[in-house]
Amino acid sequence: MCGTDYYYSLMPDLAKKLDEIVPVQRPTRTHFANSGTEAVETALKLAMHATGREKFISFFGSFHGRTLGSLSLTSSRAAQRLGFKRQVLDVVHMPYPNEYRNPFNAEDCGDGGVVQGAVNWIENRLFITTTPPDEVAAIVVEPVQGEGGYVPAPAAFLKELRRICDEHGILLVADEVQSGMGRTGKMFALEYSGVKADIVCIAKGIASGLPLGACVARADLMDWKKGAHASTFGGNPVAIAAALKTIDLLQRELVANSAEVGAYLKNGLEKLMSKYDCIGDVRGWGLMIGVEFVKDRASKKPDPELRDRVEIETFNRGVILLGCGANSIRWSPPLILTKENVDVALEIFDEAIAASI
């Protein structure tokens, strides 16, 4: 017996709470899983089931998991795909609208910058060449790319994705596995754009480290027949209890703390950027901030070797940071971080950069 046979007593409580807070048009339904990649797999199956279509659009630099379906979306590094032959799903990738490193040509961008460039790529390239819109089940996007370099999507771009999806009957899937649950100073990063997705994938912070994933979708979409999708241990009662308490803490204080302390951290990192020409960009929201290392700000030439040295020097001084993208470092500390903690971490980061250049 498990939660797929008879509901655990707290399972409906968590589903109701997610219905209240997730940026999806209510009413919603939720499938509980054990991880982020399982939540994404649910979204992929659901999108195909609900639309009767098979194609997907994803983005270069994205990370959505390593199981075979989600791996078809993932494109942050070749090592994740090497040896696994052809992708399982029909996915086309396109450049992500990175405002620091605009991947689109001037003609595509016109006066609208990366947003117009990305929209033109979809509507005037993909839709009229390889990917007819009436065959696309979903566009899957991270509101903030994680493995790709902690790159926030422009709000205007997410609004354009919503428009494109609405015009063509395509579902908009937001992968908030890394950016959700207060990480960006809002409960979900999608809130910065005011856009509602059709499906949202959640994991990582939802249960404060216990294994839980969730795929939250419009109720009219998640109407598949009994037995179409399930997980024996997905939404186990201990993880669900942890998630309910986590959400309570987030709503009472930790989302606000992420916003306040995150702004303080970002300001400190921007001061270091003015000190060191090797910091090309500081970007992000809340406690999800990326620092990109370059040879110099004029050329913007990536400096992954320097990034690696800074990461190790910081670790050797007692602060754990991780790389992301080709040449960036991610700041993704616990949401209980204080400004005093930030002061210590920034001092160490300053020392690590000085020792690395």
Q: Do 243 and 187 touch, CB atoms closer than 8 A?
A: no
Is the previous residue joined to 334 through a cis bond, with omega within 30 degrees of 0? Answer: no
3-state secondary structure at position 316 = helix
Give the pLDDT score at 349.
98
* pLDDT score, position 134: 98
200 contact partners, CB below 8 Å, separation of at least 6: 22, 23, 24, 173, 174, 176, 180, 188, 190, 215, 216, 217
pLDDT digits (tens, 9 = 90+) for 29-75: 999 999 999 999 999 999 999 999 999 999 999 999 999 999 999 99
The C-alpha atoms of residue 183 and residue 52 are separated, in whole angstroms, by 34
Check if the beta carbon of residue 188 is closer than 8 Å to that of residue 262. no
* Cβ atoms < 10 Å from Cβ of 150: 27
Separation between Cα atoms, residue 301 and residue 345, nearest integer Å: 26
pTM: 0.96
Q: Mean of the pLDDT values across residues 83-102?
A: 95
Domains of the chain: 11-251 (3.40.640.10), 254-356 (3.90.1150.10)
pLDDT digits (tens, 9 = 90+) for 193-210: 999 999 999 999 999 999
Q: Are 337 and 318 in contact (CB under 8 A)?
A: no
| 8 Å CB contact between 45 and 219 | no
The per-residue pLDDT for range 230-241, each reduced to its tens digit, is 889 999 999 999
DSSP 222-282: --PPTTSS--SSTT-HHHHHHHHHHHHHIIIIIHHHHHHHHHHHHHHHHHHHHH-TTEEEE
pLDDT, residue 226, reads: 85
- pLDDT tens digit sequence for 265-323: 999 999 999 999 999 999 999 999 999 999 999 999 999 999 999 999 999 999 999 99
pLDDT digits (tens, 9 = 90+) for 101-145: 999 999 999 999 999 999 999 999 999 999 999 999 999 999 999
Cα 27 from Cα 84, distance rounded (Å): 38
Question: Residues 203-229: pLDDT tens digits?
Answer: 999 999 999 999 999 999 999 988 889
